[in-house]
Amino acid sequence: MFDKDTYIRRRRSLLERMAGEKGIALFLGNVEAPAQYRDNAYKFRQDSTWLYYFGIDAPGFGAVLDLESGKETLFADDVEIDDIIWMGPQPSVASVAAGVGVASSAPYAALEATVAAARAAGRPVHFLPASRYATALTLSRLLGIAPAETFSAGKAGCRRASEPLVRAVVAMRLVKEPCEIAQLDDACALGYEMHTTARKGIRVGRVEQEIVGAMEGVTLAKGWGVSFATILTQHGEIFHNHSHDCTIEPGKLMVIDAGAENNMHYASDFTRTYPTGGKYTARQRDIYQIVYECHELAFSLTRPGTSYRDVHLAAARHMLERLSDVGLVAGDPAEMAADGIAGLFMPHGLGHNMGLDVHDMEDLGENLVGYDDDQRRSPQLGLGSLRMARRLVPGNVVTDEPGIYFIPALIVQWKEQGLGKGCVRYDKLESYHDFGGIRLEDDVLVLPDGARRLGPQRLPASPDEIEAAMEQDKTA
Amino acid sequence: MFDKDTYIRRRRSLLERMAGEKGIALFLGNVEAPAQYRDNAYKFRQDSTWLYYFGIDAPGFGAVLDLESGKETLFADDVEIDDIIWMGPQPSVASVAAGVGVASSAPYAALEATVAAARAAGRPVHFLPASRYATALTLSRLLGIAPAETFSAGKAGCRRASEPLVRAVVAMRLVKEPCEIAQLDDACALGYEMHTTARKGIRVGRVEQEIVGAMEGVTLAKGWGVSFATILTQHGEIFHNHSHDCTIEPGKLMVIDAGAENNMHYASDFTRTYPTGGKYTARQRDIYQIVYECHELAFSLTRPGTSYRDVHLAAARHMLERLSDVGLVAGDPAEMAADGIAGLFMPHGLGHNMGLDVHDMEDLGENLVGYDDDQRRSPQLGLGSLRMARRLVPGNVVTDEPGIYFIPALIVQWKEQGLGKGCVRYDKLESYHDFGGIRLEDDVLVLPDGARRLGPQRLPASPDEIEAAMEQDKTA
């Protein structure tokens, strides 16, 4: 936990940003998430916004901030003798509240009465979209609305939740404080260690899962665990491939997209693509080099005042120029970029915000988090998936993760629909159907005068660096 | 997945057991469980009963068995091009259904119509208690009942769920098939490896979390992960202590209660208690020896026809006899046992069923799973927590896990309330306030003529075996 003043200051700032609003703001921490039954839960993960404002990393808490009087109340139940046997002695709720500068506390059941009283008095109850089913059920009960109404309406943002509250929270969490940057550097150090362990484990004949276990063990030993489900696959063209039952084959590309969550719940998120035998083939190296250039270009453009949408577009344009060099497209790069041709090769966005969540605040609605009010989301494949488009300000933390993939089903679809006709060289693409995909990702902090990559050390990134590292792994 | 015939046979057997019932039986597989937001989910864990009857280890499935016509229908959605980009090509729902011998399939939305038609025709809809909030919401929507009504009513069993269906499922899952026993042996082999890794990692000065990470990495490398949240603590007197931030100190007892879930989702569950420095003190050894004797005694009594309640009671009585030898209680062991005095030292049950869940089927209601119809749950501390009391039959798999703990808050409470007056030597207990706790646990299969411990190898268990293993770890 950060020091008490951090949480006091954040809540005060939130109240100031909500100064024009009436009523109360309701916050719910997470409860345990059953995996198989109530008492066999997944490892507890607190709600990120709750952690940001209240810091208390335990289940069963709620809070109300009165937007008019400024009164803060924490709701939770003190433990009884049975709980002491199973959970050990616990501090009182009052002392937990005091520990994060909240003056008033009450049993959890009083939360219901507090919200009911506000509603009865016609006062607005501001709440954030539910990120879990359990929270949806609680909000439904407290507010008398259907559970489905409590979720974020996806990209569009709030459905019944409070847009002013979402906007105030987003504005704060988007700009990382120095204490948060230190945590992100720490999570990146752990991510570096995970990835290094994984790279050293790549050996033809091993089963992918063995490497996953070793790398996840690293982050469990020093941090909370993984910041998202590990992607480790010789089918990089499948973005969210979470099966790890393949044996490592020679001559393939191994995409490893994985990150650590440290004990303070800050995330890291790195991707590297390794040649399974330690050396890229000429064709693999050609495509890797293009991804690497896009990655470096994006980093060089990342600075305050530039929109990350423009950084995405610059990377996409460079990708098309260079794909033209290797003969996979033909035409004017600017025109092809405007037509969204890059989406065939990179049908995802350049990056996303990162912080307490690996896709920071995605539960609050992608557009409210990642788009300025004057920006509209593109309908194009690729750019349409861009999660962070905003004009950058110092303290933003974004990922820089271009990739090139050869997705057979997508290529067939485009060809059949006549998309990219005249510029996509479908004849040449035939031989790439078994290529897979390449992605390269670092985590980037926007500084007043540019940007820096997070973490004390950078993972090998260029083709030469990666081959050299894998050569050294062999002899070590 | 087991072969198709296994699932066909199980569903046929279920239909036969439900032959007297009208209507349909509704089964819901799990959906993804969001950790932070919808697209950042916990590692997918399928519902265990779903795995037992349908085997399909993927989210978003439902099924209906018509109890009268015998018709089986699987409900799920085929993937679209967007899903193929993110998830890769997927088999059709029809082919997945055929793979587990289900003849008919339909889109997930048709499940709603099927259930609605049954309800409109006045046909009963049998369902199992929800084990997760998401399932509760789906059942609520399909059946028009409050989400809270869909959960199991704790120990008492069903609230709105179908007791005949619960009973039929419990009767089948309680008796493990040969193919399941092979999986349990496999999970136990993995658990052995986890525990061995952990034991070798115990070293004064290390942080507990480092050992947890190493042991969890072992099961992630070869299996699904842990079968429950790892307990690794120098405060064994706190049963569900999931914090691992303490540094290992000399002269303490380290309780490690952890298990693996293999890739077929069968569990193991072992506990060992190690002296942090490699040698038990005389006092630690005295108490350990008692726990070890209770553990061995329980195993020797585990056989068909004996109730596990009686095994618990025999172990509790032996514990009191031997606690009397070391002067912590005084009186007639049989009388003290009847008075529940053992509960002060072991306020939990001797063991539980194990299978696809580490506490097998706990979501279906503890009493329906663990108690015969003529057995009543005891109100006594300890015995009252016994999850498995039934008369044993071949194929049952139970844990044998006695323990002795010195829980300061509980000792104070008993003393203040005058419990155990005249037999508990509270004066002697004073000096045990910092002792901690000891537990010893193996997984046991009931055989036609006795029982065997699961897994190819047994972890060191006696005080001598444990000290010898730790000595060998040092020199290895």
Minimal CA–CA distance to B220: which of B274, B262, B270, B266? B262
Which CATH homologous superfamily contains domain A4-173?
Creatinase/prolidase N-terminal domain (3.40.350.10)
Residue range A18-36: average pLDDT?
97
Q: What is the DSSP letter of B324?
A: H
Angle between helices A282-301 and A308-325 (to 10 degrees): 150
**Per-residue pLDDT tens over the stretch A100-124:** 999 999 999 999 999 999 999 999 9
When the pLDDT of each residue in chain B is averaged and rounded to a whole number, the result is: 96
**pLDDT at residue B157 above 80?**
no
Q: What is the DSSP letter of A134?
A: H
Q: In one letter, which amino acid is B476? A: A
Contact list in A for residue B231 (CB cut-off 8 A) is none
Distance CA A64, CA A182 (A): 29
**Residue A156: band (very low, low, confident or very high) from pLDDT cuts 50, 70, 90:** confident
**Assign residue A85 a region: left if phi > 0, alpha if psi is -120 to 50, beta otherwise?**
alpha
Contact flag A410-B81 (C-beta cutoff 8 Å): yes
Residue range A39-56: average pLDDT?
97
**Residue A444: band (very low, low, confident or very high) from pLDDT cuts 50, 70, 90:** very high
**Per-residue pLDDT tens over the stretch A401-442:** 999 999 998 999 999 999 999 999 999 999 999 999 999 999
Which of B1, B30, B31, B36 is the best mutation test for A, with the most CBs of A within 10 A? Answer: B36
Nearest CA in chain A to B86: A239
**Residue A83: band (very low, low, confident or very high) from pLDDT cuts 50, 70, 90:** confident
What separation in angstroms does the CA of B410 have from each of B140, B345, B419? 40, 9, 11
Nearest CA in chain B to A35: B45
Contact flag A85-B212 (C-beta cutoff 8 Å): no
Per-residue pLDDT, B87: 78
Contact flag B362-A239 (C-beta cutoff 8 Å): no
Contact flag B40-A147 (C-beta cutoff 8 Å): no
**Per-residue pLDDT tens over the stretch A360-379:** 999 999 999 999 999 999 99
Which of A85, A216, A228, A255 is the best mutation test for B, with the most CBs of B within 10 A? Answer: A85
Per-residue pLDDT, A146: 92
Scanning A127-177, the segments in alpha helix (DSSP H) are 133-143, 163-173
At residue A45, φ and ψ (nearest 5 deg) are -125, 120
Contact list in B for residue A210 (CB cut-off 8 A) is 221-222
From the list B134, B237, B245, the residue facing A133 with the nearest CB is B134
From the list B151, B238, B359, the residue facing A40 with the nearest CB is B359
**Residue A304: band (very low, low, confident or very high) from pLDDT cuts 50, 70, 90:** very high
Q: Which residue has the higher pLDDT, A11 or B157?
A: A11
When the pLDDT of each residue in chain A is averaged and rounded to a whole number, the result is: 96
**pLDDT at residue A45 above 90?**
yes
From the list B41, B221, B363, the residue facing A36 with the nearest CB is B363
Residue range A324-341: average pLDDT?
95
Give the three-state DSSP class for A145: coil
Place of tokens 């259907």: A146
Contact list in A for residue B357 (CB cut-off 8 A) is 36-37, 40
The distance of A413 to chain B (nearest Cα, Å) reads: 8
A348 contacts: CB under 8 Å, gap ≥ 6: A239, A382, A385, A403
Place of tokens 């009973």: B167
At residue B311, φ and ψ (nearest 5 deg) are -65, -45
Give the three-state DSSP class for A148: helix
Give the three-state DSSP class for A243: coil
Nearest CA in chain A to B220: A213
Contact list in A for residue B399 (CB cut-off 8 A) is none
Contact list in A for residue B212 (CB cut-off 8 A) is 220-221
Distance CA A142, CA B125 (A): 30
The distance of A69 to chain B (nearest Cα, Å) reads: 31
Same fold, A4-173 and A178-475: no
Contact list in B for residue A409 (CB cut-off 8 A) is 81, 84-85, 89
Per-residue pLDDT, B411: 95
Give the number of other Cβ atoms within 10 Å of residue B54's Cβ. Answer: 26
Q: How many CB pairs under 8 A join A and B?
A: 193
Contact flag A216-B220 (C-beta cutoff 8 Å): yes
Contact list in B for residue A344 (CB cut-off 8 A) is none
Contact flag A33-B36 (C-beta cutoff 8 Å): no
**pLDDT at residue A84 above 90?**
no
Q: Please state the ipTM of this predicted complex.
A: 0.95
Report the percent of chain B where pLDDT is more than 70: 100
Give the three-state DSSP class for B17: helix
Contact flag B40-A228 (C-beta cutoff 8 Å): yes
Residues B295 and B442: beta-carbon distance below 8 Å: yes
The distance of A214 to chain B (nearest Cα, Å) reads: 5
Contact flag A81-B409 (C-beta cutoff 8 Å): yes
Contact flag B86-A40 (C-beta cutoff 8 Å): no
**Domain boundaries defined on chain A:** 4-173, 178-475
Structural fold of domain A178-475:
Creatine Amidinohydrolase (3.90.230)
The distance of B172 to chain A (nearest Cα, Å) reads: 18
**Residue B349: band (very low, low, confident or very high) from pLDDT cuts 50, 70, 90:** very high
Which of B44, B82, B85, B405 is the best mutation test for A, with the most CBs of A within 10 A? Answer: B85
**Residue B209: band (very low, low, confident or very high) from pLDDT cuts 50, 70, 90:** very high
Contact flag B43-A132 (C-beta cutoff 8 Å): no
**pLDDT at residue B402 above 90?**
yes
Residue range A210-232: average pLDDT?
97
Contact list in B for residue A39 (CB cut-off 8 A) is 359, 362
From the list A45, A347, A410, the residue facing B35 with the nearest CB is A45
**pLDDT at residue B186 above 80?**
yes
From the list B88, B237, B362, the residue facing A235 with the nearest CB is B88
From the list B40, B212, B219, the residue facing A359 with the nearest CB is B40
Distance CA B169, CA B159 (A): 16
Contact flag A88-B147 (C-beta cutoff 8 Å): no
Contact list in A for residue B407 (CB cut-off 8 A) is 84-85
Contact list in B for residue A213 (CB cut-off 8 A) is 217-222
Distance CA B296, CA B458 (A): 13
Residue range B55-72: average pLDDT?
97
Give the number of other Cβ atoms within 10 Å of residue B379's Cβ. Answer: 8
Contact list in A for residue B245 (CB cut-off 8 A) is 263
Contact list in A for residue B48 (CB cut-off 8 A) is 36
> Token pair of B128, please?
């199992």
Contact list in B for residue A263 (CB cut-off 8 A) is 245
Contact flag A85-B37 (C-beta cutoff 8 Å): no
**Per-residue pLDDT tens over the stretch B67-121:** 999 999 999 999 877 777 777 888 999 999 999 999 999 999 999 999 999 999 9
> Token pair of B288, please?
């350990």
**Residue A241: band (very low, low, confident or very high) from pLDDT cuts 50, 70, 90:** confident
Contact list in A for residue B211 (CB cut-off 8 A) is 221
List the beta bridge partners of residue A125. Answer: A24
From the list B86, B136, B221, the residue facing A213 with the nearest CB is B221
Residue range B314-335: average pLDDT?
96
Report the percent of chain A where pLDDT is more than 90: 92
Nearest CA in chain B to A40: B228
From the list B211, B235, B363, the residue facing A88 with the nearest CB is B235
Contact flag A133-B213 (C-beta cutoff 8 Å): no
B120 contacts: CB under 8 Å, gap ≥ 6: none
From the list A37, A219, A347, the residue facing B85 with the nearest CB is A347
The distance of B428 to chain A (nearest Cα, Å) reads: 21
Distance CA B320, CA A429 (A): 77
**pLDDT at residue B451 above 80?**
yes
> Token pair of B446, please?
């009931």
The distance of B37 to chain A (nearest Cα, Å) reads: 5
